[in-house]
Amino acid sequence: MKQRNLILFLVGSMALIGLQVWLTPKRPVPPAPTAQQQAAVAAPKAPEATQAPLGAPAKAEPIGPTVSASNENLKVTFSTRTGAVVQAEWKDGTPLLPTHFQGLGSIMATTFDRHREESTPEGTQVHFENTAGDRLSWTLPRKGHALQVSWTTTRGAHLRALPLPASLDELKGMEAGRVLTLTEKQIHSTSWDSILKDPFFSFLGAKRSTLPVAEARLGMDAGLEKNVNVRNHYFAAFWNLPLTPEVDAHGYHLAPVNGVLQAQLYLGPKTLESLSTFGIPFTQAVDYGFFGAVAKFFFLVLQFTYKVLGNWGWAILVLSILLRLALWAPNTKQIISSLRMKEFEPHQKAIQAKYEKFGSDMTKKAEMQKELMALYKQNGFNPMGSCLPMLLQMPVFMALWSMLNNVFELRQAPWIFWVHDLSAKDPYFILPAVMAISTLVQSHMTPTAGDPAQAKMMKWMMPGMMLLMFSQAPAGLVLYYFMFNLVGLGQTWWTLKHYVPQPVKI
């Protein structure tokens, strides 16, 4: 039975790896540009006075000259020709938007011929104007991530909140993530590549995805981190619009009301704190994975511990100890179940030997199983009891994996010595090595029933599998599991020391 548990855990671990790989955003391969996309688009010499047909496909246009504004959190670059945000950088230089992206906040069928900047008590303002009397103004606050935009026109031209690029080439540098629209309690998301690429099964009739249903709150993932093994967008670009936009081949856009439109654009990290300041519904964009509710609870505990200790690494160690203590009772039951199974082993082998002469006779095998179950029942023993702790730990493990891979707070967070980023793998593989050693010690301490040769193989195979799996995992996750093992070693030692063998009733 112990071997069955080990095999189940091995299969579960492999399934976890497969699920994580499946859920991990992949680097999209841009499709070959069409002849239309390859054609150069000439910039008009004068502002256009009317809008292009709303059903016309979006086209990438040259950015041309730019102007930038900065605060202590962001540097934002605008196209002086279109007034759009074409680049945003985090304070450490991380690009949130690629410079050749078509741009957020441009005005459909409108260009500008002059711009000016001014410093105000609210922050830095950048104004774009043209001879038709249109005016697009951006305000970057002195601190924070939320820009204010004001569009004034007599022509009713639409503000392009989130353009739909012509191809994935326009999204290079941010490694296309998701397009998001949000209601008060629900999030709709679609990946850029599923919108811009034909699906693999297109020959069977599968079609490209469409943009999510239009909502006043919308945006996209941004700022891909490349220093971690699981690609992740720690940043986002979100609009908080005054009304629900239209959605068509251009993407999302909306018209001013009585010639005026005011909105907010968030360019910053996906953290609960900053997103809740912009609007509570936007916190739904923090992706905690399949076991989201569990992962979010763990993060809140981890965040509270961090505020006390001031270091995310030590906070992870404390969280690991707390979780091990919470699972103390079922883990003790698992150890005792293994010890008890060892006591049943001679009687189990005797029953099996009695039925060996019947070979593969299924009727006799059923009788043997019935006799074994009767033996267990007579002694009040449940051979499946040791599986419960493993089943409890799998969602915990998966929730922690997702949480440690996605929360912005652990991005580039140091622990001690060589661990400078808990969201990235251990550069020297020290933590995976000591974690595998602790697993090896644990497997040798735990009593094992069944075939000795198979048991010996599993005792060495399992640490090897764990080393392979955790060698590419975030250092924070390995740190958690190492401490989890250390406390488990102490629990195993304590249980073995105080266990009183029980006679088996025949």
Per-residue model confidence as pLDDT tens digits over 253-264: 999 999 999 999
- Per-residue DSSP letter, 104: B
Amino acid in the structure at residue 347: H
Is 89 in contact with 75 (CB distance < 8 Å)?
yes
pLDDT at residue 98, as a whole number: 80
pLDDT for position 78: 96
Query: pLDDT grade, residue 48 (50/70/90)?
Result: very low
Which has the minimum average pLDDT: 4-8, 288-292, 373-377? 4-8
Predicted confidence at residue 211, as pLDDT, reads 95
Segments of the chain assigned to CATH 2.70.98: 50-286
Question: What does the angle CA 209 – CA 213 – CA 217 come to, to the nearest 5 degrees?
Answer: 125
Angle in degrees, 0-180, between the axes of helices 2-23 and 387-406, rounded to the nearest 10: 20
Which residue, 235, 230, 187, is CA-closest to 212?
187
Confidence of residue 163 (pLDDT cuts 50, 70, 90): very high
Confidence of residue 33 (pLDDT cuts 50, 70, 90): very low
Judge whether residue 52 has pLDDT over 70. no
pLDDT digits (tens, 9 = 90+) for 121-162: 989 999 999 999 999 999 999 999 999 999 999 999 999 999
Encoding tokens for residue 458?
């599993």
**What is residue 331's predicted lDDT score, i.e. its pLDDT?**
85
Which pLDDT band holds residue 385 (cuts at 50, 70, 90)? Answer: low
The verdict on pTM exceeding 0.85 is no
Confidence band, pLDDT 50/70/90 cuts, at residue 316: very high
Is the per-residue pLDDT at 32 higher than 70?
A: no
Average pLDDT in the chain: 82
Of residues 473 and 8, more confidence is placed in 473
* pLDDT score for 504: 79
Q: Which is higher by pLDDT, 440 or 134?
A: 134
Rounded-to-integer distance, Cα 245 and Cα 264, Å: 14
Position with higher pLDDT, 117 vs 33: 117
Looking at the structure, give the CATH architecture of the domain made up of residues 50-286.
Answer: Distorted Sandwich (2.70)
Short-list 189, 203, 198, CA closest to 233: 189
d(CA 21, CA 15): 10
Q: With 70 as the cut, is the pLDDT of residue 338 above it? A: yes
Which tokens go with 127? 């104004």
Mean pLDDT of 71-91: 94
- Does the pLDDT value for residue 106 go beyond 60? yes
- Residue 34, pLDDT score: 39
CA distance 125 to 405: 36
